[in-house]
Amino acid sequence: MTGKRGTSDGGHSHCPYCALQCGIDLIAVPPVDDRGAAAPEDAPAVRVAGREDFPVNEGALCGKGASAAQLLSARLRLTSPLVRDRRTAALRPATWDEALDRVARELSARDPRAVAVFGGGSLTNEKAYQLGRFARTILKTPNIDYNGRFCMSSAAAAQNRAFGMDRGLPFPVRDIRAARAILLVGANPAETMPPIMRHFAAAREAGAVLITVDPRRTRTADQADRHLQPVPGTDLALALGLLHLAVAEGLVDEQYVARRTSGFDDARRIATGYWPERVERLTGVPVAAMHQTVHTLADAARAVRSGAPGGAMILSARGTEQHSKGTDTVNAWINLALALGLPGRPGCGYGALTGQGNGQGGREHGQKSDQLPGYRRLDDPAAREHVAAIWGVDPDELPGPGPSAAELLARCGGGAQAGPDAIDALLVMGSNLLVSAPGAVQTEERLRSLGFLVVCDLVLSETAEIADVVLPAAQWAEETGTMTNLEGRVLLRPAAIAPHPGVRTDLEIMAQLAGRLGGKLSADPAEVFAELGRASAGGVADYSAISHERLARGEELYWPCGEDSPGGTPRLFEDCFPTPDGRARFVPVDFRVSAEEPDDQYPYRLTTGRVLSQYQSGAQTRRVDSLNQAAPEAFVELHPDLARDLGVEEGATLSVISRRGTASAPARLSRAIRPDTVFMPFHWPGAGRANSLTNPALDPTSKMPEFKTCAVRLEKTSGEAPCEG
């Protein structure tokens, strides 16, 4: 395809933002418009329109997707490598050769164990795969992980434990329309992935009851039939309480449990201790609402068993997952789904609403610290042998599992005091850690004390700003690659326009660094994808029968798609689960309190999340005028009763203080939030940075940090006496 302005015929693509991966058409913007006015020199060559024939979004787009082409404009993005000559010097433009030479020199000058790579969930499958290979065979370091740890890791770990497989949704997103009861737990898709709401709306039109679980009455909750408003950090108790009720009220699908699952009795016995009144006290959710919820789900499940229209779904997202007990919490929801006989039945099941654009594919092909392509385990000798053969290395040379994201960041920097495990050089690709990582104050200190930091990104993110070398990357519409959306559907995003001349693709960057470091990697996306396919063959996430050609022909392919399933697998678990005995596992999980509970010093809870017009760390969306005007700054949402106690009025600057840092932002009063909890969106750097407050306490299984609850105190920022709790 050609990228010359006005000559592109655009074509099919997918939105660069969330995991929905809405279908879009790229439409060439003519250099001169209808009225004869010339487009500005730096305007993007294409604009975006929703694709009617793509079933996920049916033509709909949110504001983020609709404005996605704007970032292609040279005005908003990086167009040249930048280097910093000394720590105290400013970043200055450099040639690619200079920048790449510098990176290669710095990375090769250090012991491989002092070098680390940090990837992202927006990278294409090809890049995610290549980044793992780059780290393990070129840099020869075990230190690689990615920001999906901060996103999907709890749902992923829980699904692996329960089902032997982790695919966000085990069914196409349109199956939502068939359900008659939907429990959305810690999910706010009306703001985070708005086009999916059409499927919930269609289900409701057909009679479905939509129930949300969220400490805030979000936009999604406003569109629901019922809303349960638990105290942050108590979802696990709520799920146990619902399982208790399912047992007590005789709503368990005993046949399904006997035929298709194992471990029910152990899970049930734990739930015995969570009778409704106890759970009400722990969660703040009324007993009656718990009764209603479990009966609504069970009725819809029973209907589908008897052949009537029905189906019940439990869908989770970050609100319930981003906890130091996130994995157990998701397993508790899955246990409930299994007890009601949902997974594998039509219009039924458990699913996770994946967050980042390639949150799904990004966690399957080896940029995770413990993983090889195809969702293989790095500590599995057979997996190592298989992948090493494809990479042409000795399996014994492959490093073992490395630290998870937060652990990796905790080992960064430190200078002279750093221990033997210290990481001194870090390559970041597609992640804005200064805004998105927990305990951001400490993270920033560590990254600033690194011996060498290189960041590959589209824009000068906050993390790029402190780097020694910044490598400007090509964007979605400028390069070919595949993404795997929340349904496990693999999608081709073909290059539609030529990249800006000053940038290179991430694959080119890795290939050119590899060359300088004495290795060889392909920069051709189709070639890399074919290699990824071979590496994944026989693995859980088998892509071996997928090719760019098949995807370009418009085939709808869901993984696993390999030798045994060349047509792909839109729906999982219909006959069996990919566990050794073919049964889904109830995992015996118990409630525990959050890593940091409110106390006299820090009497309130903080929970964090996202708003409609910004995306993740905001590195992209904060640069798009229309989005930034809609949501220009951080805020602290609090209940009017709490505001009155504190003497705070709408718009007043409020400082939120945790044991890890302080953030200040205007107060926004809302009855939509629990009076004992405040909310901050996490998209902004600087004074309003919510992650300055969050707690890096990790989930023992998924290594997910506790983004969704920590203890804070609140102070008016006006020179008056601080407000006590």
Partner 1 sequence: MRRIVVAGYGMAGHHLVAGLIRAGRATPAGDFELTVLGAEAGAPYNRVLLPEVLAGRIDQHRIDLPEADDPRVTVRAGVRATGIDRERRLVTGDDGSVLRYDALVLATGANPVLPPLGGILDEHGLKPGVHTLRTLADLERIQDQLAAAPRGLGSEKRKPRAVVVGGGLLGVQCARGLTLRGADVVLIHQGSHLLDHRLDAEAAAILSRTARGLGIEVHVGCRARAVLHERDGRLGGVQLADGFQLDADLVLLACGSAPATALAARAGLAVDQGVLVDERLASVTDPCIHAIGDCARVRGGARGAQGLAAPALEQAEVLAERLLGRPALYQGSSTVARLTATGVDVAILAAAPSLVAESRPDHVARTVRLTDPIAGTHRAVTVHGGRVVSSVLIGDVSAAARLTRLVDRPGPLPENPIDLLFDTAERN
Nearer to partner 1, 462 or 715 (CB): 715
For position 133 contacting partner 1 by CB under 8 A, the verdict is no
Site string for partner 1, 222-241 (x = CB under 8 A): ---xxxxx-x----------
Among 272, 601, 626, 718, binds partner 1 (CB under 8 A): 272
Among 199, 639, 689, 716, binds partner 1 (CB under 8 A): 639
Q: Is 227 left (phi over 0), alpha (psi -120 to 50) or beta?
A: beta
For position 204 contacting partner 1 by CB under 8 A, the verdict is no
For position 590 contacting partner 1 by CB under 8 A, the verdict is yes
Among 6, 30, 286, 722, binds partner 1 (CB under 8 A): 286
For the segment 668-707, give every residue that binds partner 1 (CB under 8 A): 671, 674-676
Among 102, 149, 199, 268, binds partner 1 (CB under 8 A): 268
Candidates 322-330, 475-483, 588-596, 660-668: pick the segment binding partner 1 (CB under 8 A). 588-596
Among 52, 254, 266, 564, binds partner 1 (CB under 8 A): 266
Nearer to partner 1, 217 or 534 (CB): 217
Assign 3-class secondary structure to 523-582: CCHHHHHHHHHHHHCCCCCCCCCCCHHHHHCCCCEECCCCCCCCCCCCCCCCCCCCCCCC
| Four-point Cα dihedral 363, 369, 370, 371, nearest 10 | 40
Residues 210, 189 contacting (CB under 8 angstroms) = no
Nearer to partner 1, 113 or 216 (CB): 216
HSE-CB for 378 with a 13 A CA cutoff: 23
**Number of residues counted as binding partner 1 (CB under 8 A):** 43
Among 52, 385, 641, 650, binds partner 1 (CB under 8 A): 641
| Residue appearing with tokens 């997974």 | 343
Nearer to partner 1, 285 or 541 (CB): 285
The DSSP output letter for 199 is H
Q: How many residues does the chain have?
A: 725
Among 131, 162, 289, 611, binds partner 1 (CB under 8 A): 289
Among 642, 669, 697, 712, binds partner 1 (CB under 8 A): 642
- Cβ neighbours, 10 Å, residue 421: 13
- Is the bond into 560 cis (omega within 30 degrees of 0)? yes
The DSSP secondary structure of 597-637, one letter per residue, reads ---SSS-EEEEEE--TT--TT-TTGGGSHHHHHHS-S--EE
Among 32, 89, 109, 288, binds partner 1 (CB under 8 A): 288
Nearer to partner 1, 548 or 716 (CB): 716
Nearer to partner 1, 59 or 284 (CB): 284
SS3 of residue 138 by DSSP: helix
For position 644 contacting partner 1 by CB under 8 A, the verdict is yes
Candidates 23-31, 273-281, 364-372, 464-472: pick the segment binding partner 1 (CB under 8 A). 273-281
For the segment 596-615, give every residue that binds partner 1 (CB under 8 A): 598
d(CA 162, CA 149): 19
For position 295 contacting partner 1 by CB under 8 A, the verdict is no
The DSSP secondary structure of 110-126, one letter per residue, reads S-GGGEEEEE-TTS-HH
For position 254 contacting partner 1 by CB under 8 A, the verdict is no
Candidates 282-290, 304-312, 416-424, 684-692: pick the segment binding partner 1 (CB under 8 A). 282-290
The DSSP output letter for 134 is I
247, two tokens: 């047992």
For position 87 contacting partner 1 by CB under 8 A, the verdict is no
Nearer to partner 1, 386 or 639 (CB): 639
CA neighbor of 654 nearest in space, from 633, 635, 676 = 635
Site string for partner 1, 10-49 (x = CB under 8 A): ----------------------------------------
Determine the distance from the C-alpha atom of residue 543 to the mean position of all C-alpha atoms in its chain, rounded to a whole number: 21
Residues 181, 173 contacting (CB under 8 angstroms) = no
Nearer to partner 1, 251 or 466 (CB): 251
d(CA 680, CA 689): 9
CA distances (Å), 317 to each of 17, 230, 305, in order?
A: 16, 15, 27
Among 110, 140, 278, 534, binds partner 1 (CB under 8 A): 278
Nearest-approach distance from CB 704 to partner 1, in angstroms: 17
Amino acid at 601: Q
Residues at the contact surface with partner 1, assessed by CB under 8 A: 217, 225-229, 231, 247-250, 266, 268-270, 272-273, 275-278, 280-281, 283-289, 588, 590, 592, 598, 639, 641-642, 644-645, 671, 674-676
